[in-house]
Amino acid sequence: MTRDRLTFRALRATLFAVVCAGMALAGHVIAGGAAPGGTLFGAAVAGTAAAALPFAARPRSRACLIAALLAAQGLLHALFGAAASGAAPSADGFARTLGHACASGLLTGDLPGMAVAHAWAALVTGWWLAAGEDALWAVLHWLRAALLPPPPGIGAHPAARPPRRYGRGLVPTPRLRVLRHAVSGRAPPPAF
Protein backbone atom coordinates (compact mmCIF):
# COMPACT_ATOMS: atom_id res chain seq x y z
CA MET A 1 0.00 0.00 0.00
CA THR A 2 1.40 3.39 -0.90
CA ARG A 3 2.01 6.05 1.71
CA ASP A 4 -0.60 8.38 0.17
CA ARG A 5 -3.31 5.72 0.35
CA LEU A 6 -2.41 4.87 3.93
CA THR A 7 -2.48 8.56 4.87
CA PHE A 8 -5.89 9.04 3.29
CA ARG A 9 -7.18 5.84 4.92
CA ALA A 10 -5.95 7.05 8.33
CA LEU A 11 -7.53 10.46 7.74
CA ARG A 12 -10.88 8.87 6.84
CA ALA A 13 -10.78 6.57 9.90
CA THR A 14 -9.78 9.43 12.22
CA LEU A 15 -12.58 11.66 10.95
CA PHE A 16 -15.07 8.84 11.48
CA ALA A 17 -13.73 8.25 15.01
CA VAL A 18 -13.80 11.92 16.00
CA VAL A 19 -17.36 12.41 14.74
CA CYS A 20 -18.57 9.16 16.32
CA ALA A 21 -16.89 9.71 19.69
CA GLY A 22 -17.90 13.37 19.72
CA MET A 23 -21.54 12.51 19.12
CA ALA A 24 -21.43 9.80 21.80
CA LEU A 25 -19.83 12.21 24.28
CA ALA A 26 -22.30 14.99 23.48
CA GLY A 27 -25.25 12.62 23.85
CA HIS A 28 -23.86 11.25 27.12
CA VAL A 29 -23.45 14.73 28.61
CA ILE A 30 -26.83 15.98 27.31
CA ALA A 31 -28.52 12.93 28.85
CA GLY A 32 -27.12 13.96 32.22
CA GLY A 33 -24.05 11.77 32.45
CA ALA A 34 -20.74 13.00 33.76
CA ALA A 35 -18.23 14.00 31.13
CA PRO A 36 -15.38 11.49 30.96
CA GLY A 37 -11.83 12.74 31.26
CA GLY A 38 -9.71 13.75 28.31
CA THR A 39 -7.65 10.58 28.59
CA LEU A 40 -10.72 8.35 28.30
CA PHE A 41 -12.07 10.39 25.40
CA GLY A 42 -8.70 10.24 23.63
CA ALA A 43 -8.58 6.49 24.17
CA ALA A 44 -12.13 6.19 22.80
CA VAL A 45 -11.18 8.16 19.66
CA ALA A 46 -7.98 6.14 19.19
CA GLY A 47 -9.78 2.82 19.68
CA THR A 48 -12.58 3.76 17.29
CA ALA A 49 -10.05 4.95 14.68
CA ALA A 50 -8.06 1.72 15.03
CA ALA A 51 -11.22 -0.33 14.58
CA ALA A 52 -12.29 1.74 11.54
CA LEU A 53 -8.88 1.74 9.82
CA PRO A 54 -9.24 -1.64 8.03
CA PHE A 55 -12.61 -0.54 6.60
CA ALA A 56 -11.50 2.93 5.48
CA ALA A 57 -9.85 1.88 2.22
CA ARG A 58 -12.72 3.18 0.11
CA PRO A 59 -15.93 5.19 0.55
CA ARG A 60 -18.68 3.18 2.23
CA SER A 61 -22.41 3.35 1.60
CA ARG A 62 -24.70 5.34 3.86
CA ALA A 63 -26.21 2.12 5.25
CA CYS A 64 -22.76 0.75 6.11
CA LEU A 65 -21.75 4.03 7.76
CA ILE A 66 -24.97 4.16 9.79
CA ALA A 67 -24.54 0.55 10.96
CA ALA A 68 -20.92 1.19 11.95
CA LEU A 69 -21.93 4.38 13.77
CA LEU A 70 -24.67 2.54 15.67
CA ALA A 71 -22.28 -0.19 16.78
CA ALA A 72 -19.51 2.22 17.76
CA GLN A 73 -21.90 4.56 19.58
CA GLY A 74 -23.31 1.61 21.53
CA LEU A 75 -19.82 0.60 22.65
CA LEU A 76 -18.84 4.19 23.45
CA HIS A 77 -22.08 4.69 25.40
CA ALA A 78 -21.25 1.62 27.47
CA LEU A 79 -17.68 2.83 28.00
CA PHE A 80 -18.74 6.34 29.07
CA GLY A 81 -21.47 4.88 31.30
CA ALA A 82 -18.99 2.54 32.96
CA ALA A 83 -16.55 5.39 33.53
CA ALA A 84 -19.30 7.55 35.05
CA SER A 85 -20.41 4.74 37.38
CA GLY A 86 -16.86 4.30 38.63
CA ALA A 87 -16.33 0.81 37.23
CA ALA A 88 -12.75 0.90 36.04
CA PRO A 89 -11.49 -1.69 33.58
CA SER A 90 -9.91 -4.49 35.56
CA ALA A 91 -7.30 -7.08 34.71
CA ASP A 92 -10.13 -9.26 33.40
CA GLY A 93 -10.48 -6.85 30.55
CA PHE A 94 -13.00 -4.61 28.94
CA ALA A 95 -15.78 -7.23 28.78
CA ARG A 96 -16.60 -6.97 32.49
CA THR A 97 -16.79 -3.15 32.30
CA LEU A 98 -18.95 -3.32 29.19
CA GLY A 99 -21.27 -5.85 30.82
CA HIS A 100 -21.58 -3.66 33.93
CA ALA A 101 -22.44 -0.60 31.87
CA CYS A 102 -25.03 -2.48 29.79
CA ALA A 103 -26.64 -3.95 32.90
CA SER A 104 -26.81 -0.58 34.64
CA GLY A 105 -28.32 0.96 31.48
CA LEU A 106 -30.95 -1.78 31.31
CA LEU A 107 -31.86 -1.34 34.97
CA THR A 108 -32.41 2.42 34.79
CA GLY A 109 -35.34 2.03 32.41
CA ASP A 110 -34.33 4.72 29.89
CA LEU A 111 -33.09 2.26 27.29
CA PRO A 112 -35.79 3.09 24.64
CA GLY A 113 -34.97 6.79 24.83
CA MET A 114 -31.27 6.12 24.51
CA ALA A 115 -31.83 3.75 21.60
CA VAL A 116 -33.89 6.36 19.73
CA ALA A 117 -31.30 9.06 20.44
CA HIS A 118 -28.43 6.86 19.24
CA ALA A 119 -30.35 5.79 16.13
CA TRP A 120 -31.18 9.40 15.27
CA ALA A 121 -27.57 10.49 15.84
CA ALA A 122 -26.28 7.62 13.70
CA LEU A 123 -28.68 8.46 10.87
CA VAL A 124 -27.77 12.14 10.86
CA THR A 125 -24.02 11.66 11.19
CA GLY A 126 -23.98 8.80 8.67
CA TRP A 127 -25.74 10.97 6.12
CA TRP A 128 -23.47 13.90 6.97
CA LEU A 129 -20.26 11.86 6.61
CA ALA A 130 -21.36 10.31 3.30
CA ALA A 131 -22.53 13.62 1.84
CA GLY A 132 -19.39 15.38 3.05
CA GLU A 133 -17.11 12.83 1.42
CA ASP A 134 -19.07 13.00 -1.83
CA ALA A 135 -18.79 16.80 -1.81
CA LEU A 136 -15.07 16.66 -1.05
CA TRP A 137 -14.41 14.27 -3.95
CA ALA A 138 -16.51 16.38 -6.32
CA VAL A 139 -14.57 19.53 -5.40
CA LEU A 140 -11.22 17.76 -5.75
CA HIS A 141 -12.16 16.39 -9.19
CA TRP A 142 -13.40 19.79 -10.35
CA LEU A 143 -10.18 21.42 -9.15
CA ARG A 144 -8.06 18.79 -10.87
CA ALA A 145 -9.98 19.26 -14.12
CA ALA A 146 -9.78 23.05 -13.88
CA LEU A 147 -6.09 23.32 -12.92
CA LEU A 148 -4.48 20.53 -14.91
CA PRO A 149 -4.38 20.66 -18.69
CA PRO A 150 -6.37 17.93 -20.45
CA PRO A 151 -4.40 15.03 -21.90
CA PRO A 152 -3.76 15.08 -25.68
CA GLY A 153 -6.76 14.11 -27.74
CA ILE A 154 -9.30 15.30 -25.19
CA GLY A 155 -11.29 18.41 -25.88
CA ALA A 156 -12.21 17.87 -29.51
CA HIS A 157 -15.59 16.34 -28.68
CA PRO A 158 -16.21 16.85 -24.94
CA ALA A 159 -19.95 16.18 -25.16
CA ALA A 160 -19.35 12.64 -26.42
CA ARG A 161 -17.86 11.50 -23.11
CA PRO A 162 -20.32 10.41 -20.41
CA PRO A 163 -19.94 11.82 -16.91
CA ARG A 164 -17.70 9.79 -14.63
CA ARG A 165 -18.90 8.03 -11.52
CA TYR A 166 -17.29 9.31 -8.32
CA GLY A 167 -18.31 8.15 -4.86
CA ARG A 168 -22.02 7.45 -4.79
CA GLY A 169 -23.23 9.65 -7.63
CA LEU A 170 -22.50 10.94 -11.10
CA VAL A 171 -20.37 14.06 -11.12
CA PRO A 172 -19.80 15.77 -14.44
CA THR A 173 -16.22 16.89 -14.86
CA PRO A 174 -15.60 20.36 -16.28
CA ARG A 175 -13.94 20.33 -19.67
CA LEU A 176 -12.27 22.91 -21.80
CA ARG A 177 -14.49 23.56 -24.77
CA VAL A 178 -12.52 24.07 -27.95
CA LEU A 179 -14.36 25.66 -30.84
CA ARG A 180 -13.77 23.72 -34.02
CA HIS A 181 -14.14 26.68 -36.38
CA ALA A 182 -12.34 29.35 -34.34
CA VAL A 183 -9.59 31.24 -36.07
CA SER A 184 -7.00 32.60 -33.71
CA GLY A 185 -5.37 35.96 -34.38
CA ARG A 186 -8.48 37.42 -35.96
CA ALA A 187 -9.57 40.88 -34.83
CA PRO A 188 -12.67 43.03 -35.35
CA PRO A 189 -12.88 45.04 -38.57
CA PRO A 190 -10.92 48.32 -38.51
CA ALA A 191 -14.18 50.35 -38.80
CA PHE A 192 -14.97 49.55 -35.18
SS3 89: coil
Query: Region 164-189: what's the mean pLDDT?
Result: 60
Angle between helices 62-85 and 3-30 in degrees, nearest 10:
50
Question: Percent of the chain scored above 70 by pLDDT?
Answer: 63
Query: Region 89-108: what's the mean pLDDT?
Result: 48
What does pTM read for this prediction?
A: 0.62
Check whether 33 has a pLDDT greater than 50: yes
What is the C-alpha separation between 156 and 178, in angstroms, rounded?
A: 6
Question: Percent of the chain scored above 90 by pLDDT?
Answer: 16
| Residues pairing with 171 in the sheet | 164
pLDDT band, very low/low/confident/very high, at 49 (cuts 50, 70, 90): very high
What is the C-alpha separation between 133 and 169, in angstroms, rounded?
A: 11
Which candidate, 18, 122, 27, 17, places its Cα nearest to that of 84? 27
Identify whether the C-beta of residue 141 lies closer than 8 Å to the C-beta of residue 171: yes
> What are the residues whose beta carbons fall under 8 Å from the beta carbon of 56, sequence distance 6 or more?
9, 10, 12, 13, 16
